[in-house]
Amino acid sequence: MTDFFRDIPEITYAGPDAEGEFAFRHYDPSEMVMGKRLEDHLRFSVAYWHSFAWPGGDPFGGQTFERPWFGDTMEAAKLKADVAFEMFRILGQPFYCFHDYDVRPEGDNFAESAARLDEIGDYLGEKMQATGTRLLWGTANMFSSRRWMSGAATNPDPEVFAYAAASVKACMDVTHRLSGENYVLWGGREGYETLLNTDLGRERAHAGRFLQMVVDYKHKIGFQGAILIEPKPQEPTKHQYDYDVATVYGFLKEFGLEGEVKMNIEQGHAILAGHSFEHELAMARELGIFGSIDMNRNDYQSGWDTDQFPNTVPEVALAYYEVLKAGGFTTGGTNFDAKLRRQSLDPEDLILAHVGGMDVCARGLKAAAAMLEDGTLEAMRSERYAGWDAPAAQKMLDGSLEAAAARVGDEGLDPKPRSGRQERLENIVNRFV
Amino acid sequence: MTDFFRDIPEITYAGPDAEGEFAFRHYDPSEMVMGKRLEDHLRFSVAYWHSFAWPGGDPFGGQTFERPWFGDTMEAAKLKADVAFEMFRILGQPFYCFHDYDVRPEGDNFAESAARLDEIGDYLGEKMQATGTRLLWGTANMFSSRRWMSGAATNPDPEVFAYAAASVKACMDVTHRLSGENYVLWGGREGYETLLNTDLGRERAHAGRFLQMVVDYKHKIGFQGAILIEPKPQEPTKHQYDYDVATVYGFLKEFGLEGEVKMNIEQGHAILAGHSFEHELAMARELGIFGSIDMNRNDYQSGWDTDQFPNTVPEVALAYYEVLKAGGFTTGGTNFDAKLRRQSLDPEDLILAHVGGMDVCARGLKAAAAMLEDGTLEAMRSERYAGWDAPAAQKMLDGSLEAAAARVGDEGLDPKPRSGRQERLENIVNRFV
Amino acid sequence: MTDFFRDIPEITYAGPDAEGEFAFRHYDPSEMVMGKRLEDHLRFSVAYWHSFAWPGGDPFGGQTFERPWFGDTMEAAKLKADVAFEMFRILGQPFYCFHDYDVRPEGDNFAESAARLDEIGDYLGEKMQATGTRLLWGTANMFSSRRWMSGAATNPDPEVFAYAAASVKACMDVTHRLSGENYVLWGGREGYETLLNTDLGRERAHAGRFLQMVVDYKHKIGFQGAILIEPKPQEPTKHQYDYDVATVYGFLKEFGLEGEVKMNIEQGHAILAGHSFEHELAMARELGIFGSIDMNRNDYQSGWDTDQFPNTVPEVALAYYEVLKAGGFTTGGTNFDAKLRRQSLDPEDLILAHVGGMDVCARGLKAAAAMLEDGTLEAMRSERYAGWDAPAAQKMLDGSLEAAAARVGDEGLDPKPRSGRQERLENIVNRFV
Amino acid sequence: MTDFFRDIPEITYAGPDAEGEFAFRHYDPSEMVMGKRLEDHLRFSVAYWHSFAWPGGDPFGGQTFERPWFGDTMEAAKLKADVAFEMFRILGQPFYCFHDYDVRPEGDNFAESAARLDEIGDYLGEKMQATGTRLLWGTANMFSSRRWMSGAATNPDPEVFAYAAASVKACMDVTHRLSGENYVLWGGREGYETLLNTDLGRERAHAGRFLQMVVDYKHKIGFQGAILIEPKPQEPTKHQYDYDVATVYGFLKEFGLEGEVKMNIEQGHAILAGHSFEHELAMARELGIFGSIDMNRNDYQSGWDTDQFPNTVPEVALAYYEVLKAGGFTTGGTNFDAKLRRQSLDPEDLILAHVGGMDVCARGLKAAAAMLEDGTLEAMRSERYAGWDAPAAQKMLDGSLEAAAARVGDEGLDPKPRSGRQERLENIVNRFV
Ligand SMILES: [Co+2]
Ligand SMILES: [Co+2]
Ligand SMILES: [Co+2]
Ligand SMILES: [Co+2]
Ligand SMILES: [Co+2]
Ligand SMILES: [Co+2]
Ligand SMILES: [Co+2]
Ligand SMILES: [Co+2]
């Protein structure tokens, strides 16, 4: 056991009136909500990269965090894993996620990197065995190294495509071995800086083909988890091909993959794409591709990805409302792809940021469940569209433009608008949050 | 002949060193560019609504323009048409576009409105016959009246769907009768203000079904033009279903219409969606759905649709570069969906705004053609992807993830990045603009 | 008594578990908070323009509201006033605000307009007398008429400057007569669309001189209320001179008015300027120019001023936290410069939008007060800056650059960063909202 | 001489039809424009940090550039200087700029760092002597080290304030010794991430006091250059105190420094603040605080500071138009605070990015000069405001609100709007760009 978190107790539920900072006020894993334990609804996951690998840099400043496990040796990697699992224990985290790059130092060549990933995979597996913490998803970091600067699957150099295939294969293998419940692809460099040097058609075709290969490989190895794409409109590139849910849906349709691939939706990326989080969730649900969420917010006044811990219950409630309407998570979960502010230097900050985020999510999910159980919102929605339930309306939908048009004259139609009642609906939401 | 534009001469080409404001400095319709007359490349069109129907209001102020044809009588509508065709003559405009709502006053009921559209259609037809000005596209205004406040095809009230069908049918009929080269749908109210009162799945399904009806009707009446959708992310609603090109592509795929419907892409809407104009054009080209353009810019410092005349040659050149790479316009053209600033009160402003826009477009297209003919940009692009032309690369694309991955070890791959040379490419563009 | 709100009961406090929509769940005017009645903390005000004069238009659509008092007669104006005061009674509103343009139809010339304003002023005065509702502020609409299209005090035409002087004088007079507690200037047209036709120096000088005249006139007539400027960065213009609080502060300093003029800060305008609401409030407080607030939010996904009723308690709480730290309102108050969504057609929508907003504000203010009384946030802030309380630190501040610099060598300084603890502070806030 | 730029020739003017990439097409240093050599108008400067110290990282990726001088030894620092001056020679750059941090490795303590700065200062001085390249400005990097993570002059820890004083003093000393023409302060960390942990009043007071100390020190040492502040609204922090020109003006007035400090205005920062570049320049000119420019653009589709080389002549022309109207540069100049795209790996990219930027600036300045000499734009502006030149108008400005108001009735005023002619003005600009 390391001493990084010494003196920090395990966090347990103590109710809204708890004393002090080291307690859950709202997250009681065993609380039953809509017939399911809260823990099983939320399926919380810690992101290895932000919590254990990120040094605290930003575009104008370098490392602020000084962690005993920083370094590029296997010993450091194992110390990092030790600390990570101590944090999972303290928080009672059921899940975590990682990139290859987070858990092992890069080797001198691919084979060495892969061997290190295997070795650390075993190390993580033992800890998972011992603690019961599970892997929500694995993924390959194909954006940090200069190798990927012009893309991975969409690189102008076919050798990089091969390297990407090897990287994803290695990460899928270790994810499968660790019984990961999903495998995620985030195309941080699959996009462009300028159209002037980009063959858009070729790059998109390669991206589509790569994704087909990934799906085929999943079936070949019998991986039962979901393949997830995480949309993001831009940053680091000027334009990323996985812009938002609707864009990725079109891409999946183009390559015949809409039945094979689902979405990992991040609040911050929704904001960057000009959407609300709930919009992206609702869209994925309606298109049949909802998978999992990255529950980290962006700052509305900043034009880049701030990856902050969630802290606004009303927003989180509207997000979980869409999740619950989608039937809740199956393989997916609530991943905190959230990083501490770079001034939050202390071990306590790392623990308490997660505690706060988990409490906000618990409040949000319980509010969402209460809204659904109350039923007023859904009743008002149904009532608004009730006209469409009439057989004549459905018949019109099945008919021709001329037939629909003819109704206007035949029936003397002059439809009158009815109130959309937005403010009243917002008031109702406010009873629950 | 009206006296609205009295004393304003017909605008003709007088070269870059022309005296005064009333001359084209760059737009010579007969100039041959890449083997085609400039006029036939650009296919300029005036938007009836902004130039003749818009009173100059904004969210904080009312009418500023005082036009003799403002009013809701058929006489006023005919005077408006007279002035419009005088402007087309002055500018030498080959095309124009209109909504039903722009050309006729609304009647007391649908039948009266339709009869008026027919009557004014005849009036326009005679003028077209006499002048040679053609109709680039017709469209139905399904956003201004309170009837449409909650959507047209996506309205919660099926009677509004019927009314929308009748409106579109009437507009398609008159467009067909006037030999319009396209029919456009812009879904300004096909979206939502709040998810709380919206059945996203139902609304999208109705929108898809409506579009199928429109396509069927086109074939039934033998309309040879293209059906075009004009994407816009938001405004007037908070979210519009036709968000951007990639979103509409997914929508078309979902409803099996990707071979039937093309895009009318507006610069301002691209900007609102977080894209460059050239991005949207390139995306449409690669997806096989490029149709036509609305050549009106947005102000980068304003978060709403300013619909200004184009005035930045380097931007316009990059846009036409993508258009030319798409093979140029077939049924499409360059529509100025642009409005005067509301302080630009004079008839001269209306003429000269178009003159300036046409000159900017002429410079842009000629620069784009010169860049293509020069060939350096395309040569550098091809060279960047040349590795993919090798048989081994293509074989890898056809193979499996494992096979691609195996190359890394088998061939000892350690790919080295090469410069993307963005600044050098930008310098080359600057030789032409 | 009109029958517009028939069947709608007076709204009273019924607690969080109230039945139905027509009750306050959180706003109990008589509840004591930090030694003051909640009503006296919040000082709610209704905006006449949005609630009674706005027809529901947006840039792509016209009137949606059909109100019996719409029209341009004095009878309609009085009916409008009758309905307004019925709403104030139903809501128990202590204050309201108006522009000249909202309360009277414009006359054929200035004298007639002024006479109508006087007449309607008397009518309003009687109602105020009878009901106890007070005037939070009056203001002149110098943006709707085409007269103002190029600015009011900043117009290129000096006759418009004179007209603006007359308009403001008339509105100040009636505000004074009705014992208004403030007079507000919002410069919706005091800005520019393009620098190309703008003499920035001249326009700003005229704006400054105009404001000096207004302040002089206030003193001359003995008006005891505050003169307030409402900053907004843009919309309707591309750039408005009263961009944000910091910009207006510089403007006031330039013209020697920083002791005479305070700020009316709107959440939506803060957002458009790239700030949070609490930022603008804190900045005004620190600069000594905090006055009043317009409590209407913008949609973070829309780039224009949506003027929605507040509905997010955590945001509102942070705003009132700054208000309370400023000592609370003196002449200022909480004005709902908020409009119904244009689809919210019913009288019930108008009432319930205000009820919801008032409850959200009540929750926010009570949360803010609880945070202040708890003291943890302020204690942590003080502790962070405690080093500056040392005499040596204050002495350094009073000294020279060289003296401060010398400390580094003399004392061997090598300062170590300490955690900013942002997430822990956010967790603490979440205990109260 | 190093071999980094081997085979790259000195760049000379060869006219618009030059062959190849290694030539100026528009920048002829000796060309006379408005009676002054082009070189003396533009006063180009290279930014040491981006061109020689930046490794190519972004928030999602690390170093891409592999430069022989990367390292933390004094030898590496001298090699870096050698290469820098070779680039200045190749480009014929008259000026450069640096931070302490760019030119010397940080020492183990402040004294060692300062000694290294002195040593490298001597080294640079010899090269300047030998080549004639001058220092446009020096500045202290008080944002990269973790020491500054919570601010420099605004740090909660007074020891950091002292460290900032020592850093600025050392940099002012070396700037003075090298005859720098300006000294710049950019407050990248002088702002906040959250109001919750920030004492806004205290921090601003400390920033103001610090600036006063800097000004006093300037006078004490007899530094003749200008003290410049470079505004930026945000990034790296959520809010920076030097938001934009208008904000800084208010700050200077508050601390009595408006006669002592001028602005270094960057295009990219203007964009982030919601302004056009020309707006910020015009505002600074009108407020009497125009100093110098950082001529590097932002991408309009990216919400962060992209610091790209300028490439759009029409924008650059409008910027220099404001510069020329301000009388041109005195101590200021055109600094390329621009970085290569991180994929632009080659030495050629570094040279040609500057060549392209310099040509764009030359075209822009010549177009601006031509517009001024033509005079149409200024004549139309003057004509628009001509009414104000009348004695009656000036008398009204000097009078009271009542007197101005009285004119409306006395003279029967009913002012009629006149066209703002924006499009015509834009057309005129397009004759020159
Ligand atoms: Co993110
Ligand atoms: Co994520
Ligand atoms: Co538009
Ligand atoms: Co359009
Ligand atoms: Co507003
Ligand atoms: Co307001
Ligand atoms: Co910058
Ligand atoms: Co800069």
3-class SS string, chain B: CCCCCCCCCCCCECCCCCCCCCCECCCCCCCEECCEEHHHHHCEEEEHHHHHHCCCCECCECCCCCCCCCCCCHHHHHHHHHHHHHHHHHHCCCEEEEEHHHHCCCCCCHHHHHHHHHHHHHHHHHHHHHHCCEEEEEECCCCCCHHHCCCCCCCCCHHHHHHHHHHHHHHHHHHHHCCCCEEEECCCCCEECCHHHCCHHHHHHHHHHHHHHHHHHHHHHCCCCEEEECCCCCCCCCEECCCCHHHHHHHHHHCCCCCCEEEEEEHHHHHHCCCCHHHHHHHHHHHCCEEEEECCECCCCCECCCCECCCCHHHHHHHHHHHHHCCCCCCCCEEECCCCCCCCCCHHHHHHHHHHHHHHHHHHHHHHHHHHHHCHHHHHHHHHCHHHHCHHHHHHHHCCHHHHHHHHHHCCCCCCCCCCCHHHHHHHHHCCC
User: How many CB atoms sit inside 10 A of residue D327's CB?
Assistant: 9
Residues of chain D short of pLDDT 70, as ranges, are: none
Please give the share of chain A, as a percent, with pLDDT higher than 90. 100
Q: Which fold has domain A32-374?
A: TIM Barrel (3.20.20)
Which sign does the torsion angle of CA C101, C103, C108, C110 carry? negative
Task: Calculate Rg over the CA atoms of chain D.
Answer: 23
Choose among D391, D380, D387, D390: nearest CA to D419.
D380
Question: Are residues C206 and C153 in contact, defined by beta-carbon separation less than 8 angstroms?
Answer: yes
**CA A266 to ligand 2 center in whole angstroms:** 5
In the structure, ligand 6 is a single-atom ion and the residues with CB under 5 Å from it are C 266, 294, 337
Token digits of residue C224: 């005891």
Q: Report phi then psi at C409, rounded to 5.
A: -75, -45
Chain D residues touching A60 at Cβ < 8 A: 143-144, 188-189, 235-236
Q: Report phi then psi at B191, rounded to 5.
A: 180, -155
Q: Looking at residues A181-207, what average pLDDT do you find?
A: 98
Chain D residues touching B277 at Cβ < 8 A: none
Question: How does the average pLDDT of chain B come out, rounded?
Answer: 98
Which one of D311, D421, D430 has the shortest CB-CB distance to B426? D311
**CA B194 to ligand 3 center in whole angstroms:** 22
Note the pLDDT tens digit of each residue in A37-58: 999 999 999 999 999 999 999 9
Query: With 90 as the cut, is the pLDDT of residue C397 above it?
Result: yes
Question: In this predicted structure, what is the pLDDT of residue B351?
Answer: 98
Q: Are strands A334-336 and A290-294 parallel, antiparallel or unpaired?
A: parallel
**Per the annotation, does C266 bind a ligand?**
yes
**CA A130 to ligand 5 center in whole angstroms:** 57
Token digits of residue A263: 């979405």
- 171-200 in B: which are within 8 Å (CB) of C? 188-189, 193-194
Chain C residues touching A312 at Cβ < 8 A: 312, 314-315
Catalytic, B99? Answer yes
A343–D143: do the CB atoms touch at under 8 Å?
no
Q: Looking at residues B125-141, what average pLDDT do you find?
A: 98
Mutate to test the interface with D, among A149, A301, A305, A346 (most CBs of D within 10 A): A149
Residue type for position B355: V
- Alpha carbons B158 and A394: distance in angstroms, whole number: 9
**Per the annotation, does D230 bind a ligand?**
yes
Chain A residues touching C417 at Cβ < 8 A: 64, 343, 345
Question: Are residues B263 and B248 in contact, defined by beta-carbon separation less than 8 angstroms?
Answer: yes
**Which residue in this structure is represented by tokens 């110390």?**
A79
- Alpha carbons A300 and A309: distance in angstroms, whole number: 14
- Alpha carbons A281 and A319: distance in angstroms, whole number: 7
Q: Report phi then psi at A211, rounded to 5.
A: -65, -35
- Alpha carbons D70 and D80: distance in angstroms, whole number: 8
What size, in residues, is chain A? 433
Token digits of residue D276: 């056009």
Note the pLDDT tens digit of each residue in D285-315: 999 999 999 999 999 999 999 999 999 999 9
Question: In this predicted structure, what is the pLDDT of residue B390?
Answer: 97
Question: In this predicted structure, what is the pLDDT of residue D58?
Answer: 96
Neighbours of chain A (3+ CB pairs under 8 A): B, C, D
Neighbours of chain C (3+ CB pairs under 8 A): A, B, D
Question: In this predicted structure, what is the pLDDT of residue D1?
Answer: 76
Q: CATH 3.20.20.150 spans which residues of chain D?
A: 32-374
Cα of A102 to nearest chain C Cα, Å: 23
Q: Is D379 on the interface with C (CB under 8 A)?
A: no
**Which residue in this structure is represented by tokens 């309306």?**
A393
Which one of C251, C275, C404 has the shortest CB-CB distance to D165? C404
Question: In this predicted structure, what is the pLDDT of residue A279?
Answer: 98
**CA C63 to ligand 3 center in whole angstroms:** 21
Token digits of residue A183: 């495998």
Q: Looking at residues C189-218, what average pLDDT do you find?
A: 98
* Catalytic residue (choose from C28, C100, C102, C173): C102
Cα of B337 to nearest chain A Cα, Å: 24
**CA distance to A310, A385, B203, B236, per residue, from B155 (Å):** 35, 9, 7, 15
Query: With 80 as the cut, is the pLDDT of residue B1 above it?
Result: no
Q: Is A223 on the interface with D (CB under 8 A)?
A: no
- Alpha carbons C295 and C41: distance in angstroms, whole number: 14
**CA C185 to ligand 6 center in whole angstroms:** 10
- Alpha carbons B338 and C347: distance in angstroms, whole number: 38
- Alpha carbons D104 and D78: distance in angstroms, whole number: 9
Q: Report phi then psi at B80, rounded to 5.
A: -55, -45
User: How many CB atoms sit inside 10 A of residue A57's CB?
Assistant: 17
B59–C61: do the CB atoms touch at under 8 Å?
no
Question: In this predicted structure, what is the pLDDT of residue A130?
Answer: 97
Q: Looking at residues A109-129, what average pLDDT do you find?
A: 98
- Alpha carbons D81 and D79: distance in angstroms, whole number: 5
B61–C305: do the CB atoms touch at under 8 Å?
no
Choose among A338, A369, A331: nearest CA to A267.
A338
* Catalytic residue (choose from C26, C41, C50, C99): C99
Mutate to test the interface with B, among C193, C196, C309 (most CBs of B within 10 A): C193
Question: In this predicted structure, what is the pLDDT of residue B289?
Answer: 98
Cα of C286 to nearest chain B Cα, Å: 29
Question: Are residues D137 and D184 in contact, defined by beta-carbon separation less than 8 angstroms?
Answer: yes
* Catalytic residue (choose from D50, D99, D176, D206): D99
Note the pLDDT tens digit of each residue in A357-393: 999 999 999 999 999 999 999 999 999 999 999 999 9
Residue D431: CB partners within 8 Å, gap ≥ 6? B16, B25
Choose among D126, D45, D127: nearest CA to D92.
D45
Chain D residues touching B21 at Cβ < 8 A: 424, 427-428
Note the pLDDT tens digit of each residue in B30-66: 999 999 999 999 999 999 999 999 999 999 999 999 9
* Catalytic residue (choose from A99, A206, A275, A279): A99
pLDDT bucket at A2, cuts 50 / 70 / 90: confident
**CA distance to C141, C155, C230, D99, per residue, from C128 (Å):** 22, 36, 25, 65
CA C19 from chain center: how many Å?
32
**CA C48 to ligand 6 center in whole angstroms:** 12
Q: Is D256 on the interface with C (CB under 8 A)?
A: no
B356–D430: do the CB atoms touch at under 8 Å?
yes
Question: Are residues B142 and B72 in contact, defined by beta-carbon separation less than 8 angstroms?
Answer: no
Query: With 80 as the cut, is the pLDDT of residue C13 above it?
Result: yes
Q: Is C379 on the interface with D (CB under 8 A)?
A: no
Exposed e or buried b per residue across B129-138, where buried means at least 16 C-beta atoms within 10 angstroms of its C-beta: eeeebbbbbb
Question: Are residues D360 and D310 in contact, defined by beta-carbon separation less than 8 angstroms?
Answer: yes
Q: Which helix (H) or strand (E) holds A44?
A: strand A44-47
Question: In this predicted structure, what is the pLDDT of residue C1?
Answer: 75
Mutate to test the interface with D, among B276, B423, B429 (most CBs of D within 10 A): B423
**CA C241 to ligand 6 center in whole angstroms:** 15
Question: How does the average pLDDT of chain C come out, rounded?
Answer: 98
**CA distance to A137, A232, A309, A332, per residue, from A294 (Å):** 12, 12, 10, 10
Residue type for position A388: W
Catalytic, B102? Answer yes
Please give the share of chain B, as a percent, with pLDDT higher than 70. 100
Question: Are residues C97 and C48 in contact, defined by beta-carbon separation less than 8 angstroms?
Answer: yes
In the structure, ligand 8 is a single-atom ion and the residues with CB under 5 Å from it are D 266, 294, 337
User: How many CB atoms sit inside 10 A of residue D345's CB?
Assistant: 22
- 146-175 in D: which are within 8 Å (CB) of C? 146-147, 149-150, 155-163, 165-166, 168-170
User: How many CB atoms sit inside 10 A of residue D402's CB?
Assistant: 15
**Which residue in this structure is represented by tokens 């040679």?**
B132
Task: Tell me the three-class secondary structure of chain C, residue by residue.
Answer: CCCCCCCCCCCCECCCCCCCCCCECCCCCCCEECCEEHHHHHCEEEEHHHHHHCCCCECCECCCCCCCCCCCCHHHHHHHHHHHHHHHHHHCCCEEEEEHHHHCCCCCCHHHHHHHHHHHHHHHHHHHHHHCCEEEEEECCCCCCHHHCCCCCCCCCHHHHHHHHHHHHHHHHHHHHCCCCEEEECCCCCEECCHHHCCHHHHHHHHHHHHHHHHHHHHHHCCCCEEEECCCCCCCCCEECCCCHHHHHHHHHHCCCCCCEEEEEEHHHHHHCCCCHHHHHHHHHHHCCEEEEECCECCCCCECCCCECCCCHHHHHHHHHHHHHCCCCCCCCEEECCCCCCCCCCHHHHHHHHHHHHHHHHHHHHHHHHHHHHCHHHHHHHHHCHHHHCHHHHHHHHCCHHHHHHHHHHCCCCCCCCCCCHHHHHHHHHCCC
Note the pLDDT tens digit of each residue in C407-420: 999 999 999 999 99
Please give the share of chain A, as a percent, with pLDDT higher than 70. 100
Note the pLDDT tens digit of each residue in C98-110: 999 999 999 999 9
Note the pLDDT tens digit of each residue in B246-274: 999 999 999 999 999 999 999 999 999 99
B305–C235: do the CB atoms touch at under 8 Å?
no
**CA D300 to ligand 8 center in whole angstroms:** 17
